[in-house]
């Protein structure tokens, strides 16, 4: 496979949508300051490899905003810090999407609702059926299914706690590096959707 971004048969881009807490950084609860961010050791190498083939996005539920535990500015500062650290490692995150609501608000943007993925498809010319969602919560897997993408469930963060809740055909891996290896080693027919395939 050549080291170029994957272009699908529709001349759109393939992408990887990454959960934040528990997937690329340690889940330490509601982060209110950049100093609380701790990347998993394998995150940098994994994302460097992924971006050779895919556009990278982060999509995160931050219900602490709606609950008054953290502020929108707190989340923005943390996300800007994450982007800055990744940029230092030559990793480009196309966008970070944040849902600031709690689940009972019934918003359209909280995972597994597909709002942000559909927005990325429009704004960045993304082919969702040839894209991936990687995360440590069953909602990440359902999010992938909701747009015909391929979900990969990781056991870091809350992954081990919720692994019994994901469908039996879910791809389960140890962490972000193994997820990356699965993604970039996958040779596929660009005309076929990824949802539900192993």
CA-CA distance, 118 to 116, in Å (whole number)?
5
| 154: its two tokens | 């990781």
Q: In sequence order, which residues have a C-beta less than 8 Å from that of residue 78 and are 6 or more positions away?
A: 31, 32, 33, 34, 36, 37
Two structure tokens written together for 79: 């996300």
Which pLDDT belongs to residue 192? Answer: 40
Integer Cα distance of 130 and 150 in angstroms? 7
pLDDT digit string (tens) for 135-176? Answer: 999 999 999 999 999 999 999 999 999 999 999 999 999 999
Q: What is the pLDDT of residues 44-99, one digit of tens each?
A: 999 999 999 999 999 999 999 999 999 999 999 999 999 999 999 999 999 999 99
Domains of the chain (ranges, CATH numbers): 15-184 (3.40.50.1000)
What percentage of the chain exceeds 70 in pLDDT? 89
Q: Identify the pLDDT of residue 107.
A: 97
CB 29 within 8 A of CB 35: no
For residue 196, the model assigns a pLDDT of 40
Q: Is 0.85 topped by the overall pTM?
A: yes
Confidence band of 190 (pLDDT split at 50, 70, 90): very low
At 6, the pLDDT band (50, 70, 90 cuts) reads low
Catalytic annotation, residues: 19, 21
Binning pLDDT at 50, 70 and 90, where does residue 193 land? very low
pLDDT at position 122: 97
What is the spatial distance between Cα 88 and Cα 37, in angstroms, rounded to a whole number?
A: 15
Closest CA to 15 of 148, 108, 124, 141: 124
Which pLDDT score, from 0 to 100, does residue 4 have? 55
pLDDT at position 33 is 95
Please, which residues have CB within 8 angstroms of residue 76's CB and are 6 or more apart in sequence? none
């Amino acid at each position: 496979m050549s080291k170029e971004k994957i272009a699908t048969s529709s001349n759109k881009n393939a992408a990887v949508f990454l959960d934040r807490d528990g997937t690329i950084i340690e889940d330490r609860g509601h982060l209110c300051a950049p100093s609380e961010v701790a990347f998993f050791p394998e995150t940098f190498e994994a994302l460097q490899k992924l971006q050779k083939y895919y556009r990278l996005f982060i999509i995160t539920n931050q219900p602490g905003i709606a609950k008054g535990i953290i502020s929108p500015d707190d989340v923005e500062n943390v996300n800007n810090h994450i982007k800055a650290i990744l940029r230092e490692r030559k990793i480009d995150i196309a966008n970070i999407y944040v849902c600031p609501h709690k689940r009972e608000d019934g918003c359209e943007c909280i995972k597994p609702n597909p709002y942000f993925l559909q927005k990325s498809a429009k704004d960045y010319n993304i082919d969702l059926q040839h894209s991936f969602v990687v995360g440590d919560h069953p909602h990440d897997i359902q999010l992938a299914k909701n747009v015909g993408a391929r979900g990969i469930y990781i056991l870091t963060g809350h992954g081990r706690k919720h692994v019994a809740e994901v469908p039996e055909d879910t791809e389960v891996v140890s962490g972000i590096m193994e997820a990356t290896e699965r993604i970039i080693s996958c040779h596929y027919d660009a005309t076929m959707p990824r949802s539900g395939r192993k």
